[in-house]
Structure 1
């Protein structure tokens, strides 16, 4: 049956999958396979609807990839040159090359906006050598998903991205050289998920700030990176209280560098360029999940009470106490890699009345005194990605 389906798919140009397959010129869904280099030009059909990179580590672009004129790829909807899977930090450390994709000829991406105007999905996840996005990307007016996660050389997005008025999903996570997002992102009124938003210097007029994102009425998931070069105003995070549709919020502070061996006792602190203690915060009124990485304060009571939050994750940072106020609404609690956190099982149960043992995890918090029904994972290697999170966001 499998052979029959494969034969029918090939005969109808549905999919070209096999390594070394030379039918890209006919297949409407082409796959790059083989692990090595692509040939200089794979000869995709002008009627191709999707191009997937399955396991090609080195992709060579030339002018024929995005040729204009009669060879425009008007039917192309999906372009996935990057990784299709997500690698944990542990996997990347074990085999860095496994998650690495190198693309040469990135200058030819400037022609993508002229050649492939009907693209809905573009992924460059994990691709090196992309330092900036061409302004012509703004011509992809049908684009819904743009995945730039782990483009480690990416420094500038360009104004073209602010013209993608159909965009719903934008992932900028792990783009460590990115210093900000262009002003005008608030015009993308359909945006629902934004990951890796970099808090910029408050004096930068050309970069987007949180007050602009408050205009996005459909935004339901937001990830924020506060890098060591960030200089926000004291009340910038008060704008989060105006994000009425937001249900999931992740904030990563980047001025704590955690040791990669998972031992937070060896963490070194880089001095932030603003006063952490005087910063004012608010939380979205309908927030359900709060994920904090490298929390910069010792006492959570100095921050803002996460009223209504059902899932609370805190990984890494200076936290020593959650305070004494009872009535937390969280039903899921994850505390990881908090070397200074001092608490006991009884206090935790008193603060979080709705917690159950299966939804409570205290991991690598050496000063916590657990009871028998609190999970403390022993698999440090499996959670190594949480130990290095502070180092990852040190922009």
Structure 2
């Protein structure tokens, strides 16, 4: 199968690991492992897939760590399901290992630590110059016993790390789309229009998020869902998002006076 370019094992729940021979598929461009619920480990031989452009390991809930060898996938453009785990665990791949992926355009992260992103993490995002689409989901913990004991999730981390993150990040991110899910703290100081001047789509779903930093955003599409603590109104949103074309507001009782339809959607009238 040396000429194979596309391999999808999506949804095959009995797969626990990939064979080492996966590294022999030198021409593989797409590897889809989404929904392989019992996959426990990614072989380090994945580093041999140097032509890989698309890797999806999302919804693989037993994966407790990432191999550091992922840094060898220099042509990777889309990576879904990268796990941010406990930095104290040995031989654990970290976000910093992705710095060499200069072609990475889309990244989906599962964060099992509430202190993510740290100042170091934000610095890594700056080095991923091609990155335009970033999704971060917090609070999904691996079912690995060792990881479960060592992961430090808790309200004591809320806000503390974000203050230092905001002070230390002064450069601008190139992101055009940012999707934050189950946000663990209320007001991240790094989420500002000055740091994200190119952002066109901002989605915030669930969690403890309450406040967006004031400023003038260039965002055109804004989706706010299941944010029980966020309080604002239509006038304030229009002041912060003057170029808004699309708003979706779902189960956000504190966001008031928005001219949304029965589905919680407002769209700018066409002229």
Normalising by the smaller structure, the TM-score range is: 0.7 to 0.9
Aligned to 2:199: 309
Change (3 A) 1:255 1:172: closer
1:339 paired to 2:228: yes
Change (3 A) 1:310 1:138: same
Task: Using the TM superposition, give the Cα deviation of residue 166 of structure 1 relative to its aligned residue in structure 2, in angstroms.
Answer: 0.7
Q: 1:316 aligns to what SS in structure 2?
A: strand
Please give the per-residue CA displacement for 1:152-210, whole angstroms capped at 9, x wherever unaligned: 11110111111111100000111111112111111111100000100132133422211
Structure 1 unaligned blocks of 5 or more: 1-115, 257-269, 380-395
Higher gyration radius (CA):
1
Q: State how 1:232-311 maps to structure 2 within 5 Å.
A: 234-238=118-122, 239-254=124-139, 271-272=153-154, 275-276=157-158, 277-279=160-162, 280=165, 285-300=173-188, 302-305=189-192, 306-311=196-201
Does the aligned pair in 1 maintain the 2:115–2:161 contact within 8 Å? no
TM-score, with structure 1 as normaliser: 0.58
Q: Distance in 1 between matches of 2:226 and 2:17?
A: 35
Q: 2:157 aligns to what SS in structure 1?
A: coil
Q: Distance in 2 between matches of 1:220 and 1:201?
A: 25
Structure 2 unaligned blocks of 5 or more: 142-151, 266-271
Task: Using the TM superposition, give the Cα deviation of residue 255 of structure 1 relative to its aligned residue in structure 2, in angstroms.
Answer: 5.8
Does the aligned pair in 2 maintain the 1:240–1:284 contact within 8 Å? no
Change (3 A) 1:233 1:243: closer
TM-score, with structure 2 as normaliser: 0.83
Change (3 A) 1:119 1:248: same
Q: Distance in 2 between matches of 1:177 and 1:314?
A: 26
Q: 1:327 aligns with which of 188, 195, 216?
A: 216
Q: 1:362 aligns with which of 242, 249, 255?
A: 249
Q: 1:194 aligns to what SS in structure 2?
A: strand
Q: Distance in 2 between matches of 1:245 and 1:161?
A: 22
Aligned to 2:18: 133
Change (3 A) 1:191 1:341: same
Does the aligned pair in 1 maintain the 2:23–2:45 contact within 8 Å? yes
Aligned residue pairs total 245
Change (3 A) 1:181 1:284: farther
* Root mean square deviation of aligned Cα: 2.5
Please give the per-residue CA displacement for 1:200-242, whole angstroms capped at 9, x wherever unaligned: 32133422211111111110000011025x8868433221111
Aligned to 2:37: 152
Does the aligned pair in 1 maintain the 2:191–2:212 contact within 8 Å? no
Aligned to 2:68: 183
Does the aligned pair in 2 maintain the 1:131–1:156 contact within 8 Å? yes
Task: Using the TM superposition, give the Cα deviation of residue 322 of structure 1 relative to its aligned residue in structure 2, in angstroms.
Answer: 1.3
Aligned to 1:209: 94
User: Please, which moves more after superposition, 142-151 or 209-218?
Assistant: 209-218
Change (3 A) 1:143 1:335: same
Does the aligned pair in 1 maintain the 2:187–2:211 contact within 8 Å? yes
Change (3 A) 1:354 1:167: same
Q: 1:196 aligns with which of 65, 71, 81?
A: 81
Change (3 A) 1:273 1:165: farther
Q: 2:161 aligns to what SS in structure 1?
A: coil
Please give the per-residue CA displacement for 1:96-146, whole angstroms capped at 9, x wherever unaligned: xxxxxxxxxxxxxxxxxxxx2221111011111111111111111111100
Change (3 A) 1:255 1:143: closer
